Amino acid sequence: MLNATWLETYVTLTETGHFTRAAEKLNMTQPGVSQHLRKLEEQVGQSLIAQEGKSFTLTPAGEAVRDLGLSRRTEERLLHNTITADDPNVGEVRIACSGSFAQLLYPRLLARIEDAPQLLIHLEAAPQDAIVSGVLDGRFDLGIAGQDTGHPRLNAQSIGREELCLVLPADDADETVTFESLEDRGFVAHPDGFAYADDLLSLNFPDEFAGADRMKVRTFVNQIGQIPSPVAEGIGYTLLPRSGIEAFSGRNRLKIVSLPHRRYHDLWSITRRGTEPTARLRAILRIAHDVAGEIG
């Protein structure tokens, strides 16, 4: 490998055609330029210039080394441009969030992709633990989680909150909802539903609610987008974050019940500490922030 410093000095010398001007351009002394030339010639094993008084011409070996130096300059410039380029419309962003939030976020991301053909967005619905571990090990660039983990290798920023909601059919005529009336309907259960019940129903029906394991379950649904469907058809009730309700295609067939005590879940953006977010990631963060603000 030719010494990069000596090579750059030599290329500058060939461009200026004069030792003094090359020294001035490189902020060096003239003897320093001459020394670099001699060392480069020793490394190549051949003379690179033929001096004629105060001027010089390049030997065939000198022309080849000059061309190599110019080529390296071009390659380094291209490398620098690639490394420093930070185009918000180019590259990949990998995101993880809850299934309910994903339903609202994804249509916004699709709109972003339509405007940026060179932008690749990977969105994965995942539980909280998987979101945090995925950001930590680099599988995800961004996580939207329900709490600040306080992990020393993660940055967490509050982007909003969303309400945990009790959902009934839109045509339900009951003005006052009791736990007994809910039990008569039966619960449309889902993987997070029992934890939601312990959270929200215990808060609003402390005397009647005996725990999620004692609830009457009418049906169980594993697909987040299908959880409101039985309720929209008049079968049972369910508990969901507001994002899971607002994203449902039959939203007008659902009713969110106003309870005396409301419960909110925080929303936090999580990224790895010590890395500056790319322009494309910052753009996605703004979209997630906007979505969180609309359901907060």
Tens-digit pLDDT profile for residues 226-268: 999 999 999 999 999 999 999 999 999 999 999 999 999 999 9
Using CA atoms, how far apart are residues 144 and 183, in angstroms rounded to an integer?
33
The whole-angstrom separation of Cα 51 and Cα 58 is: 9
pLDDT in tens, 21-55: 999 999 999 999 999 999 999 999 999 999 887 78
Q: pLDDT value at position 224?
A: 85
Question: What is the value of pTM for the model shown?
Answer: 0.67
Q: Where in the chain is the domain with CATH 3.40.190.290?
A: 91-296
User: Is the domain defined by 4-84 classed in CATH 1.10.10.10?
Assistant: yes
Separation between Cα atoms, residue 131 and residue 270, nearest integer Å: 9
Q: What's the mean per-residue pLDDT of the chain?
A: 92
From the list 20, 79, 78, 19, the residue with the least C-alpha distance to 49 is 19
- What does the block give as tokens for 255? 């009713």
**Backbone φ, ψ for residue 220 (5° rounding):** -125, 135
Residue 149: the pLDDT is: 86
Confidence at 78, pLDDT banded by 50, 70, 90 = confident
pLDDT score, position 8: 94
Answer yes or no: CATH 3.30.70.3270 is held by domain 91-296: no
